[in-house]
Amino acid sequence: MKTVLSYITLVLLIVSCSNNTSNGLLMPTSSTIKIDDDDTKDSIIVKAAHVVPTKNQYKALKNEFIAFIHFGPNTFTRMEWGNGFEDPKIFDLKTLDTDQWCKAMKAANMKKVILTVKHHEGFVLWQSRYTKHGIMSTDFQNGKGDILRDLSNSCQKYGLKLGVYLSPADLYQIENKDGLYGNLSKYSDRVIPRPVEGRPFKNKTTFTFNVDDYNEYFLNQLFELLTEYGPIHEVWFDGAHPKRKGGQKYNYLAWKELISELAPEAVVFGKQDIRWCGNEAGATRDTEWNVIPYQGNPLEMNSFADITGEDIGSREKLYDAKYLHYQQAETNTSIREGWFYRDDTSQKVRSVDDVFDMYERSVGGNTTFLLNIPPNREGKFSPEDVRVLNEVGERINKTYNVNLFANASGFKNVLDEDVTTYELLDADVKEIIVETKKPITINRIVIQEAIATHSERVEKHALDAWVDGSWKEIAAATNVGYKRILRFPETTSNKFRIRVLQSRLSPAISNVTGHYYKTRPPQLSITRSLDGQVSIQPKKHDFGWKPHGEDSAGNLNRALEIRYTTDGSEPTKDSKLFNESFLATSGEIKAAAFSKDQKGSVVSKKLGILKNDWKIIKVDSWSFANKSDLAIDENPDTYWRSGEKGSPHFLELDLGKSYTLKAFAYTPQKEDANGMIEKGTIKVSNDGRNWKTIDGFEFGNLINDPVTRTHQFKSAVTTQYIRIESKVIAGGKKTAAIAELDFFE
Ligand code: FUL
């Protein structure tokens, strides 16, 4: 019987596809659709074309650009991950200006902010009834301060939504002797919230859940967060765990029940609503599907694995599904190197170009852009972060608030800038033609599908412009979904055409707008060869994204000049002109590209000591393709990897002559999550044989964020021989790997 029904569905589909009056829907839509045993490949695709976001998911997508705030003890210890042993007094905050945060986020066009109210070390930033490990045990406002309260008030003032990051991993509850995490307590019925004398709740709702001590603690804290700080729009559950204990399980289904009751407008990150994009570098997939195949029913699942593959929702992937589920990604990354603030001198801040590029790739690639801005130890965003946010906001407004198709003719429902109206492309030739009254010059087009009613259906599309009497293809891409931003060299025409080349049923296009972005001089990159020759060149696009016209002839940047300084000062039009590589042995190089009337982003590189005389004295072991000299070849794409056996793994270096060293930088390899040196020891020697420990180092979160890390030595050390030893390898792995080592005077 079911087979017959599936067949009928297909026939209906074919009939309705050629029927202009149809609304393009063949079955009810839902955010989760089950695949039946007798579903065929075709009927699976029909189902996929009816998977839509929930109301909350759709609203979350419409926020587009949102903020993350990482703040806590790590801001003061300068660590990426804490350890749970921190004395709360370490959080030595004297001033706090959440209005300043909100003003800057608002200027950037952000719509929501998510605060780390508890990061992995377990310190809480609000006045919780259930622990003393937090803001209440600091001197900040005599222990009465509440950072979430201040932020919530500022959010209301500036019209921003609020979210909370509550880390399931909790090192304080793991390490302290009365800690609740993994304490093997019995599961029993517990009433949430647990009453605390003298601290009644205004909200009288109660829940009873069968949970253990840590889950009870977690639920009590969620109750506080979701009832005492105004509406909460997102709850962020990080999957990362520096450590685990006692087989601690998380009763997410209980957490979820509490969240849906107390924060009905909230989306949950890391669970069924929103998934991690799979990296922390701001990389985006060329094709980002939000209709995702699952083996279990996501609505009943207690835990969700990270999805990191390149292809996650193509037809081939969907054919293996038992459930199809709408689950959007957040592209999350930090405006600074690392998630927490360290300093304003050596911790790099991303350029405006970089952030704007990520904005276009992520929002215009069917995801939400979640950008972290870590406040400094004065409780403010640092001036450079504010500058970048302001300028990004200005670029977004100037580019995307001006629709050059505003008075164009074509499908009314597509050009009306109303996402609730759409044009169903159900003819054989699926295309949209937009004609403007006069020729216009554009280099961006935004396309949106009516995903709330019709799911994401476009699989392949192209954009043409009418140039010199014929259509010329100017851009092509794969899916669309919530939003696709197409970037292409400046094109002048009065007629543009979007062709849908492949789709899941008839796509419903809700919006097409045309824009002009004033292209800037390109970003640069600085490299140095082993013998110290410095080159400065336009940066290659990190994520395989096609350059959007910066380097196409006639578009811009004729008469482009690269100017640089070697003394750490800001490059100007009068700085030295770069035309060939030059020798530099130390110091800091800063460079920028200049066009006739514009200056590009400044790029800088601190130079470590020259490596041409370095020799490897000894390593404990190496693996075939990853010999030890690859750790010191000035090429971060090649690396040394030790064998698995033996501990510690080590690498000993002869620097050729004696130097007074103040810091070293470790660049991990990025090919896999194996070999990241999380903790280690630095030793020096007079003869290259007898070694003495001078310092230890620790780098948190390397697996998710495998970027270069710098460690300042406790005190400067003068030596010719130096040895790096591994103590802990991230993720419990057994080999050590180094892509590049640098030492700084
Ligand atoms: C990761 C964490 O370990 C980082 O510290 C940071 O919070 C990032 C957003 O998620 O998994």
DSSP alpha helix (H) spans, 18-144: 41-48, 55-63, 73-77, 98-107
Compute the distance from residue 335 Cα to the ligand 1 centre, in Å. Answer: 14
Ligand 1 atom closest to the Cα of residue 240 is 11
pLDDT tens-digit map of 218-261: 999 999 999 999 999 999 999 999 999 999 999 999 999 999 99
Q: 51 with 459: CB under 8 angstroms?
A: no
- Confidence at residue 624, expressed as pLDDT on a 0 to 100 scale: 81
- Confidence at residue 599, expressed as pLDDT on a 0 to 100 scale: 93
Ligand 1 atom closest to the Cα of residue 701 is 3
Q: Which CATH number fits domain 64-265+327-344+354-379: 3.90.1180.10, 3.40.190.10, 3.50.50.60, 3.20.20.80?
A: 3.20.20.80
Compute the distance from residue 240 Cα to the ligand 1 centre, in Å. Answer: 6
Judge whether 412-515 and 615-744 match in fold: yes
Q: 693 with 681: CB under 8 angstroms?
A: yes
- Confidence at residue 558, expressed as pLDDT on a 0 to 100 scale: 53
Give residue limits of the domains in the chain.
Answer: 1-58+291-326, 64-265+327-344+354-379, 412-515, 524-606, 615-744
- Confidence at residue 577, expressed as pLDDT on a 0 to 100 scale: 96
Q: 107 with 160: CB under 8 angstroms?
A: no
- Confidence at residue 540, expressed as pLDDT on a 0 to 100 scale: 72
CA distance 565 to 588: 8
Compute the distance from residue 195 Cα to the ligand 1 centre, in Å. Answer: 32
Q: Which CATH architecture has domain 412-515?
A: Sandwich (2.60)
DSSP alpha helix (H) spans, 192-327: 213-227, 252-262, 315-318
331 lines ligand 1 (CB under 6 A): no
* Residue owning tokens 């020697």: 685
In eight-state DSSP terms, residue 580 is S
Which residue among 77, 678, 705, 709 has the greatest number of ligand 1 atoms within 8 angstroms of its CB, and so is best to mutate? 705
Residue-wise burial string across 35-66, b where 16 or more C-beta atoms lie within 10 A, e elsewhere: beeebeeebbbbbbbbbbbbebbbbbbebbbb
> Hey, what are 714's tokens?
């406790």
**What DSSP string runs through 141-207?**
GGGT--HHHHHHHHHHHHT-EEEEEE-S--HHHHHSTT--TT--PPPEEEEESPP-TT---S----E
Compute the distance from residue 486 Cα to the ligand 1 centre, in Å. Answer: 30
Please name the residue whose Cα sits nearest to atom 2 of ligand 1.
240
CA distance 644 to 625: 14
DSSP alpha helix (H) spans, 529-645: none
CA distance 515 to 487: 10
CA distance 22 to 425: 11
- Confidence at residue 541, expressed as pLDDT on a 0 to 100 scale: 60
236 lines ligand 1 (CB under 6 A): no
> Hey, what are 384's tokens?
């450079």
- Confidence at residue 550, expressed as pLDDT on a 0 to 100 scale: 43
User: Per-block average pLDDT, block size 10, for the chain (745 residues)?
Assistant: 44 43 90 98 98 98 98 96 97 98 98 98 98 98 98 98 98 97 98 98 98 98 98 97 96 98 98 96 94 98 95 98 98 95 92 94 97 98 98 98 97 96 97 98 97 98 97 95 94 97 98 94 91 90 43 49 94 96 94 91 94 95 89 94 92 97 95 93 96 95 90 96 96 95 96
- Confidence at residue 595, expressed as pLDDT on a 0 to 100 scale: 86
- 615-744: CATH topology: Jelly Rolls (2.60.120)
- Confidence at residue 705, expressed as pLDDT on a 0 to 100 scale: 87
Which residue among 701, 702, 709 has the greatest number of ligand 1 atoms within 8 angstroms of its CB, and so is best to mutate? 701
Question: Coil, helix or strand for 476?
Answer: strand
CA distance 449 to 452: 9
69 lines ligand 1 (CB under 6 A): no
